[in-house]
Amino acid sequence: MNNKLSKVFDNPNHKAFIAFITAGDPSADCTVSYILEMAEAGADLIEIGIPFSDPTAEGVVIQEANIRALRGGMTTDGVFDIARRVREKSQVPLVFMTYLNPVFHYGYDRFFARCEELGVDGIIIPDLPFEEKDEVAVPAAAHNVSLISMIAPTSESRIQKIASQAEGFIYVVSSMGVTGVRNEIKTDIGSMVESIRKVTDVPCAVGFGISTPEQAAAMAAVSDGAIVGSAIVKLIAKEGENAAPVLREYVKSMKEAVAAL
């Protein structure tokens, strides 16, 4: 697939820093400006979360952001409009992260046609495992959108088949459980990535539980990049409409941590 995702991990001088944000928390205007701010501060890829009423893979921080966004009236079309406004000013690579039902309900073909039109190059769906992926991967590919595969600490014997069909990048889930800041990541990410590398050249980015520059550096050192969600959403929850300066500072520090590798 020839889209912008292939270039995210291309830079030989640094690993990728991937930032997640929940669309519509606290407002669509804020989401647009925060995405632009984080892109300028050095985020290599932005994951835009389409809010869902029942985000079963999320910890409390992102659950609450989903609730705030939906209470604020965010819709699937509202999220596309955020992407459109970002595209007026920036070509930063974008992917969506959401649950299957909002995409299913929108209609796969209609959804991915909108993604293609707006240059949203990938989608992450935590409740869509390998066994069920074709119903989404096929219509997504028809619109040049990569369905990002996830590999978890429990995947073991499944790594080979998942990796062999992966595209864009592989989302390596660092820990058991749901998203959220963790003090310590115990999984042996290095050996997980090694198993993946035996099968594919598709880049591996590690997410779940990463919040500090030290953690990001440690994860990126054994992979191709670090993904941060809850820590960013937490800053936005705290600062509300005035989060731009802290986000800029935070993303810069994280980017520096992975760039030094």
Partner 1 sequence: MSKGRYGIHGGQYISETLMNELIKLEECYEFYKKDPEFNRELQKLLNEYAGRPSLLYYAEKMTKDLGGAKIYIKREDLNHTGSHKINNVLGQVLMAKKMGKTRVIAETGAGQHGVATATAAALLGLECEIFMGKEDTDRQALNVYRMELLGAKVHPVTTGTMTLKDAVNETMREWTNRVSDTHYVLGSVMGPHPFPMIVRDFQSVISKEAKEQILEAEGKLPAAVIACVGGGSNAMGMFYNFIEDKDVELIGCEAAGKGVDTAFHAATIAKGSLGVFHGMKSYFCQDENGQIAPVYSISAGLDYPGIGPEHAHLHDIGRAQYVPVTDDEAVSAFEYLARTEGIICAIESAHAVAHVRKIAANYSPEQSIIICLSGRGDKDVAAIARYRGVDIHE
127 binds partner 1 (CB under 8 A): yes
Q: Of the listed pieces 21-29, 157-165, 213-221, 238-246, which binds partner 1 according to CB under 8 A?
A: 157-165
Shortest approach of partner 1 to residue 220 CB, angstroms?
21
Binds partner 1 by CB under 8 A, chosen from 53, 91, 164, 242: 53
Chain positions 54 to 113 lying near partner 1, rule: CB under 8 A, are: 54, 56-57, 59-60, 63, 67, 70, 75-76, 100-106
Shortest approach of partner 1 to residue 235 CB, angstroms?
22
Give me Rg for the CA atoms of the chain: 17
CA dihedral for 227, 63, 34, 239, sign (positive or negative): negative
154 binds partner 1 (CB under 8 A): yes
Nearest to 101 by CA among 76, 78, 77, 66: 76
132 binds partner 1 (CB under 8 A): yes
Nearer to partner 1, 126 or 139 (CB): 126
Chain positions 221 to 240 lying near partner 1, rule: CB under 8 A, are: none
* Position 137, amino acid: A
Q: Of the listed pieces 89-97, 147-155, 226-234, 246-254, which binds partner 1 according to CB under 8 A?
A: 147-155
Nearer to partner 1, 69 or 251 (CB): 69
Residue written as token pair 């054994």 = 222
Shortest approach of partner 1 to residue 1 CB, angstroms?
21
CA dihedral for 116, 8, 174, 167, sign (positive or negative): positive
Rounded to an integer, what distance in angstroms lies between the CA atom of residue 139 and that of residue 151?
Answer: 22
Nearer to partner 1, 33 or 223 (CB): 223
40 binds partner 1 (CB under 8 A): no
Q: Is 178 left (phi over 0), alpha (psi -120 to 50) or beta?
A: beta
Phi, psi of 158 (to 5 degrees): -90, -15
Shortest approach of partner 1 to residue 132 CB, angstroms?
5
In DSSP notation, 50-90 reads PP-S--TT--HHHHHHHHHHHHTT--HHHHHHHHHHHHHH-
Nearest to 259 by CA among 230, 226, 228, 232: 226
Residues lying near partner 1 in the complex (CB under 8 A) = 52-54, 56-57, 59-60, 63, 67, 70, 75-76, 100-106, 126-132, 150-158, 162, 173, 176-178
